[in-house]
């Protein structure tokens, strides 16, 4: 808090006549060759800003009617910004270019005619757009153009193309995208411009804001944007290119990421080890004594050394714990307790032998065969329905034995008589009812 207060006091001192000005918190010096592309709207890297730091950037000027009013608003708040000028505008209004230089703002370029198709045009035409825009701005600046013009370029419409980016990098020119726009080039109200700017700044917490100094809606929204940034604790950063006399601001690689991964945050924000390690060293601090094994040796059945363990408690008047209400004998193992589980007897896993069935026993359990009388008065063996399980197959009303021979089966013919049918020595009977123990009816299949 003290550092923040002193920083604000310095801003007020640097802005005479405006004690409540937002001011410029610091100047960031960057080397375009080390980081050739910035702005998370299109690239993985952005400027190495701290939390709640914002860079103001303006495109498409100068246009005296609105650009001069933008300069007055920034001057009232002692703010330095970055401007990207169109070559044709610089040729038309060279005095506006020099006003930017005299006010201390950084001047970059934005092509010659502001084409929105640099991602599609031939590379030679794109080179001409870049080089002609630089020449036009230099012509407006005059003799000290090489010192006043920064090697910063923003592609019109952010229509990036690899060939264009590679050419700019080969010339040592840094490509600027942005981290959040305010959509002030669209036909929206100044209130909407303000809402989008603040909402997007708050969403990311820091970064490059893209505005246009030729738009009247931007002129109307800018004072309120700056007022809100100041009220919410934001700071304005001015960016300039490195030169032989002005080296780049020292940074770490993770600082060029908008939100570095968690393992890098501590590296970039915590102080160096020699500064903070002594704060965590406690010299001559009393250490707690390690408890004796007997304190917790329940199996040894030794009494707790309360005189040693609770001496400090007694000295401070802290009541000692009472005797536990449960018995302690169960904690003490018996002297003859075995150290291993007993092995189960072999008889546990043995099964008694079951009696084996003999052929005679099987014969006794088999059902008795049914009999019928043949025409000659002799009994004939008939297969009953219950005894059909002795055979393997029953096909089309016949039962076959294991040897494949058909067995005699009785059936009833259409005249009500019973016929003993089979291809063995069984005979057919006609004219009278035959006595059978079982009958097999003919079924339609």
Q: Can you tell me the distance from the alpha carbon of 23 to that of 10, in angstroms, rounded to the nearest whole number?
A: 9
HSE on the CB side for 186, CA within 13 Å? 10
Q: In percent, how much of the chain has pLDDT > 90?
A: 53
Q: In percent, how much of the chain has pLDDT > 70?
A: 56
**pLDDT tens-digit profile of 297-307?**
454 444 555 55
pLDDT of residue 371: 54
**pLDDT tens-digit profile of 51-66?**
999 999 999 999 999 9
Low-confidence winner among 115-129, 138-152, 192-206, 415-429 (lowest mean pLDDT): 415-429
Comparing 383 with 108, the larger pLDDT belongs to 108
**pLDDT tens-digit profile of 195-209?**
999 999 999 999 999
pLDDT bracket for residue 259 (50, 70, 90): confident
Q: Can you tell me the distance from the alpha carbon of 387 to that of 359, in angstroms, rounded to the nearest whole number?
A: 18
Using an 8 Å Cβ cutoff, are 294 and 286 in contact?
no
Using an 8 Å Cβ cutoff, are 424 and 356 in contact?
no
Comparing 244 with 357, the larger pLDDT belongs to 244
pLDDT bracket for residue 257 (50, 70, 90): very high
pLDDT of residue 218: 98
Low-confidence winner among 66-70, 99-103, 266-270 (lowest mean pLDDT): 266-270
Residue 128 has pLDDT above 70, yes or no: yes
Comparing 421 with 46, the larger pLDDT belongs to 46
Residue 254 has pLDDT above 90, yes or no: yes
pLDDT of residue 190: 97
Stated pTM of the model:
0.59
Low-confidence winner among 84-93, 98-107, 430-439 (lowest mean pLDDT): 430-439
pLDDT of residue 293: 52
Low-confidence winner among 117-121, 211-215, 249-253, 431-435 (lowest mean pLDDT): 431-435
pLDDT of residue 39: 97
Using an 8 Å Cβ cutoff, are 408 and 382 in contact?
yes
pLDDT bracket for residue 32 (50, 70, 90): very high
Residue 437 has pLDDT above 90, yes or no: no
pLDDT of residue 288: 57
Residue 269 has pLDDT above 80, yes or no: no
Residue 104 has pLDDT above 80, yes or no: yes
Mean model confidence pLDDT for the chain: 76
Task: Kindly state the average pLDDT of the residues 144-157.
Answer: 96
Task: Kindly state the average pLDDT of the residues 136-145.
Answer: 95
pLDDT of residue 335: 52
Q: Can you tell me the distance from the alpha carbon of 428 to that of 292, in angstroms, rounded to the nearest whole number?
A: 107
Task: Kindly state the average pLDDT of the residues 162-189.
Answer: 97
Residue 368 has pLDDT above 70, yes or no: no
pLDDT of residue 423: 45
The burial class, CB within 10 Å (0-12 / 13-18 / 19+), for 391 is: middle
Residue 16 has pLDDT above 60, yes or no: yes
pLDDT of residue 56: 98
């Amino acid at each position: 808090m003290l550092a923040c207060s002193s920083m604000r006091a310095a801003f007020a001192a640097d802005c005479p006549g405006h004690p409540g000005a937002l001011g410029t918190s610091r100047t960031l010096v960057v080397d375009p060759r080390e980081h050739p592309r910035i702005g998370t709207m299109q690239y993985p890297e952005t400027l190495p800003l701290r939390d709640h730091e914002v860079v103001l950037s303006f495109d498409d000027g100068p246009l005296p009617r609105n650009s001069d009013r933008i300069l007055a608003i920034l001057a009232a708040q002692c703010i330095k910004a970055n401007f990207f000028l169109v070559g044709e505008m610089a040729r038309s209004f060279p005095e506006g270019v020099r006003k930017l230089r005299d006010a201390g703002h950084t001047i970059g370029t934005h092509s010659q005619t502001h084409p929105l198709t640099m991602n599609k045009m031939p590379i030679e035409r794109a080179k001409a757009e870049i080089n002609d825009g630089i020449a036009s701005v230099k012509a407006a600046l005059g003799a000290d153009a090489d010192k006043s013009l920064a090697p910063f370029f923003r592609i019109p419409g952010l229509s990036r193309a690899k060939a264009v980016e590679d050419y700019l990098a080969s010339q040592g020119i840094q490509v600027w995208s942005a981290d959040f726009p305010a959509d002030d080039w669209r036909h929206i109200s100044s209130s909407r411009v303000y809402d989008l700017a603040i909402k997007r700044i708050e969403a990311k917490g820091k970064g490059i804001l893209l505005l246009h100094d030729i738009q009247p809606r931007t002129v109307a929204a800018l004072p309120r944007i700056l007022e809100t940034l100041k009220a919410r604790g934001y700071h304005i950063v001015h960016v300039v290119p490195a030169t032989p006399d002005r080296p780049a601001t020292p940074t770490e690689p993770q600082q060029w990421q908008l939100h570095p991964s968690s393992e890098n945050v501590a590296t970039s924000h915590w102080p160096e080890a020699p500064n903070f390690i002594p704060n965590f060293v406690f010299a001559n601090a009393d250490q707690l004594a390690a408890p004796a094994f007997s304190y917790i040796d329940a199996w040894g059945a030794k009494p707790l050394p309360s005189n040693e363990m609770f001496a400090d408690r007694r000295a401070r008047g802290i009541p000692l714990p009472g005797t536990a209400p449960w018995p302690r004998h169960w904690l003490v193992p018996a002297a003859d307790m075995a150290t291993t589980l007993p092995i189960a007897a072999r008889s546990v896993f043995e099964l008694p032998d079951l009696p084996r069935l003999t052929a005679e026993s099987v014969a006794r359990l088999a059902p008795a065969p049914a009999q019928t009388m043949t025409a000659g008065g002799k009994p004939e063996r008939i297969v009953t329905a219950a005894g059909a399980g002795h055979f393997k197959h029953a096909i089309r009303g016949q039962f076959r034995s294991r040897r494949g021979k058909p067995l005699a089966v009785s059936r009833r013919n259409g005249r009500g008589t019973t016929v003993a049918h089979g291809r063995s020595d069984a005979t057919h009977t006609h004219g009278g009812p035959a006595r059978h123990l079982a009958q097999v009816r003919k079924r339609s299949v």
